[in-house]
Amino acid sequence: MPVVSIQRSSKRVCPGECIVATESTVSELRTPTAIGSLARSDSHGNPINNRILNAIPDGEFERLRPHLELITYTYHQSLHESAEEIEHATFPDSGMISLVIVTADGRSVEVGIVGKEGWVGAPLSVGMSRSPYRAMVQIPGGGMRVKSDILLEALDSCPQMRLMLNRYSQIQGMQVAQLAACNRLHEIEKRLARWMLMCQDRVESNLLPMTHEFFAQMLGAGRPSVTLAAGVLQRAGIIRYSRGKVTILDRKGLEGAACECYRVIQQFDGNQATDTREVENMPDNLHVMEATAESLRPSASGK
């Protein structure tokens, strides 16, 4: 029996196609909620809403700030492909990125989700330049990006940023493991509810722009079974689905309908990566993480 039942990916968009954003495109993509919580800006005055960029110490942020590039990304755009060089580290302000495993025959399934709580390019923090995942935009949005080599150089003098990036990478690994179990063991209705909750947490909206085909690809299920599962949630008054959009009507109901994986993943969410109080109180761990990162640099690892 296969680990997951998966569908063919419908479209591949090549990496390196991020659009350098204009003020109007950014304002269209950012929600009022996001703007209200902004704390920092790039060197052009563009506000930053990424949790990691807003959490690192001032001095370390200033090291990165001149190199931050404002971008927007579109539906199904690839930020990096599996096994190819990661050219940029991306720090989302809005939207949502899926980490997808692509098999040799072109099929794919989602193993991770990244929003403004995290960053795309996790292998970079330990000196690796490639990822086994494709990072693909599922909900359009925008954020900041920085060239990989500049990030690596900055990390030499930014130990707390390095620690936060490493911790987020570890949290992402936990998410990948949990989703592997979820894809194999849990019913489609519960997985669909879990997935909607994870999306809503990242986009901070009751409205999710998604189609049944989209759900089927991400959940590794056939479209008919996704349609049935969505119908169950809709008849229960938990969601309303129409014209490629899902409206979450009853958040509590959705939580009750989801499998345990949502709660498990929530315990290890991006908040832990950016808890500066914990960072300050963990000098021993910082030392270990720095030593680990150093030992994994390209010259030492033979990458």
Least Å from the CB of residue 207 to Zn ion: 24
Choose one: 85-93, 126-134, 165-173, 261-269; the region binding Zn ion (CB under 5 A).
261-269
Choose between 8 and 263: whose C-beta lies nearer to Zn ion.
263
Q: Does residue 259 belong to the site contacting Zn ion (CB under 5 A)?
A: yes
Choose between 178 and 274: whose C-beta lies nearer to Zn ion.
178
Least Å from the CB of residue 240 to Zn ion: 23
Dihedral, 166, 169, 171, 172 alpha carbons, nearest 10? 170
Q: Does residue 100 belong to the site contacting Zn ion (CB under 5 A)?
A: no
Q: Which of residues 175-234 bind Zn ion (CB under 5 A)?
A: 182, 186
Choose between 166 and 178: whose C-beta lies nearer to Zn ion.
178
Least Å from the CB of residue 257 to Zn ion: 12
Choose between 29 and 257: whose C-beta lies nearer to Zn ion.
257
Q: Which residue has the tokens 């960053």?
A: 119
Q: What ranges in the chain are assigned the alpha helix state H?
A: 23-29, 32-36, 51-55, 58-64, 148-155, 159-185, 188-203, 212-219, 223-235, 251-257, 261-267, 276-280, 283-295, 298-301
Q: Does residue 261 belong to the site contacting Zn ion (CB under 5 A)?
A: yes
Q: Which of residues 102-141 bind Zn ion (CB under 5 A)?
A: none
Choose between 248 and 259: whose C-beta lies nearer to Zn ion.
259
Q: Which tokens is 26 given?
A: 């950014």
Choose between 167 and 186: whose C-beta lies nearer to Zn ion.
186
- Kindly report the number of other CB atoms within 10 A of residue 213's CB atom: 13
Q: Does residue 63 belong to the site contacting Zn ion (CB under 5 A)?
A: no
Choose one: 110-118, 237-245, 251-259, 285-293; the region binding Zn ion (CB under 5 A).
251-259
Beta bridge partners of 141: 73
Least Å from the CB of residue 18 to Zn ion: 32
Cβ atoms of 263 and 275 within 8 Å: the answer is no
Closest C-alpha among 209, 215, 254 to residue 110? 215
Choose between 47 and 222: whose C-beta lies nearer to Zn ion.
222
How many chain residues interact with Zn ion (CB under 5 A)? 4
**DSSP state, 141?**
E
Least Å from the CB of residue 260 to Zn ion: 6
Least Å from the CB of residue 302 to Zn ion: 37
d(CA 274, CA 199): 20
Least Å from the CB of residue 56 to Zn ion: 32
Which residues lie below 8 Å from residue 250, measured CB to CB, with a gap of 6+? 236, 237, 238, 239
Q: Which tokens is 101 given?
A: 């495993």
d(CA 275, CA 42): 22
Q: What ranges in 103-158 are assigned the alpha helix state H?
A: 148-155
Instruction: Using CB under 5 A, list all residues that contact Zn ion.
Output: 182, 186, 259, 261
